[in-house]
Every structure is written in C-alpha cells, then in structure tokens.
Amino acid sequence: MIRDEKWPVSRLIPISSASGVEAQERRLASALLAVMGAVPEFGLALLKPLGAPSGKIETYIEVPFKLADGHTIRPDGVIVVTRGGKTWSAIVEAKVAANQLEAAQMNAYLDLARDVGFDAVVSISNQYVSSSTEYPIEVDKRKLRRTSLHHWSWIDLLTTATVQEEYRGIKDPDQAYILEELIRYLSDPRSGAVAFDGMGSDWTTVRDGARAQTLRKGDASVAAVAAKGRPDQICGPHAHHGTR
C-alpha cells in the first residue's frame, strides 16, 4: 500500500462544510478514527480481531484515490497499523442514522482495496448481523479472495468502548478522558450513531447487559430485542466482525 503524506489526518474535533446526514457521517467517522489512534487499547481491541498487528495506529479521513478511468473515489476513512516491517491497512465506510450500506459502493471499495493493496474493508452502520460470519448486504464474493470484509454496528463500537473504559481500563488518564468523550458522543441520539426507537421494553436491560458483559445467549430479553430489529435500527448488542 502506498501512503501519501498529504492524506488528511482524522481529527477528534473535525471541521466540515457539509451539512445534514453527510456532516454527521464525516464528524462521527473522523472522531471515531481519531480516538482509535489516540487510545491504543481501544483501537487494538477493535482491530486485532480483524488481523491487524499490535502496532502504531494511524487514521485518515476522506482519502482521495484516482481510478484508472479518471474518476476519483473517496472512502470515509483509512486505517494503517504498523509494527516493525509489517503493515496492515483498511478502508472504512461509515453510515449513520437510517442510511444503509450500498452493494455497488462496497464492491467498488473492495476493488480499490485489491488494486491499492489494502488488507481489509470495514463498514460501519446501524445495520445488524446476527452472527460473525454474516454481512448486512450481498456483495460480490469473488472480490473477497484477497481482501477481507468486516462490519461493525455503532452499538458494537459503543459497547467495546464502554467495556474498555469501565472494565479493561486505560492506563493514561488523558486517553481515558478522550475515550469517555467518544462514549458520550456515541450515546447521544443526535450523533446519528444510535437508534433506540421501537426497541421495546427490554432494550435498556439488553443495552446495559451488553456493556457489563452479563448477557447470555438464551436470555429472553435478547431474543425480544433482536426480533424487533429492522435494517434502519440498531438491534444487536454484541460485536460482529463479519467476514464473508
């Protein structure tokens, strides 16, 4: 993978001229990626299950790539992890609120990953997958021969951040504060990262159980919340790193 020193670094407090949902996506993606780089314990908790080494995390936002046909494609983010002579990298596509992943866009990112040499493509949205082997939408499976595809829901990320902050701990107090601020941001419905409407009376119990890691597979409350799931809602409390 070729890196350019001009790539825009993700910012914890981003400034964007965009408005509406597009601005929500840019702000949230930038803040998340910035915290992943600034708080290594959190970043590695997310990335090691995807195959990244335990190394330095660098994150970038809206990196432009020029295609062979002259068009430019601009993923929401790029993650690069380096340790010694090993580099692992991923393209990130983020959707917020009711926005859903699109097959054509994800297939294009898989093509880009193959052509440029990225190891993975990671999507983030409020869509739900019921197991770690699933992906929210259908993609061209032939494109997965050399590139892995993973999915996080925003509630996955909120849960991981909460567990890291409350139970696993952050050594550096300044980094702990940064992670707490991300948790606060993700928890606010105005961020576009959460959608609790219509989840039923069991939602609070399931949400809190996910944060405390006390949920069991057979819990009736988990099944009740999952049954209410729709593509435009968050309906799963567990982390799903789907690869197909």
Confidence of residue 234 (pLDDT cuts 50, 70, 90): very low
Segment holding 121, helix H or strand E: strand 120-125
Q: How far apart, in whole angstroms, are the C-alpha atoms of residue 106 and residue 132?
A: 18
Q: What is the DSSP string of 173-219?
A: HHHHHHHHHHHHHHHSGGGTS---TT--TTHHHHHHHHHHT---TT-
Instruction: Give residue-wise pLDDT tens across range 14-52.
Output: 776 666 778 888 999 999 999 999 999 999 999 999 999
Q: For the chain, what is the mean pLDDT?
A: 84
β-pairing, 65-66 vs 72-73, is antiparallel
- CA 227 from chain center: how many Å? 23
Confidence of residue 231 (pLDDT cuts 50, 70, 90): very low
Contact between residue 100 and residue 134 where contact means Cβ atoms under 8 Å apart:
no
Lowest model confidence (mean pLDDT) among 21-25, 78-82, 139-143, 174-178: 21-25
What DSSP character marks residue 119? S
Q: What is the pLDDT of residue 213?
A: 72
Q: What percent of the chain has pLDDT over 70?
A: 80
Q: Tell me the H-state helices in the chain.
A: 20-38, 40-47, 103-116, 154-163, 173-187, 203-212, 220-227
Q: How far apart, in whole angstroms, are the C-alpha atoms of residue 221 and residue 204?
A: 10
The pTM is what?
0.79
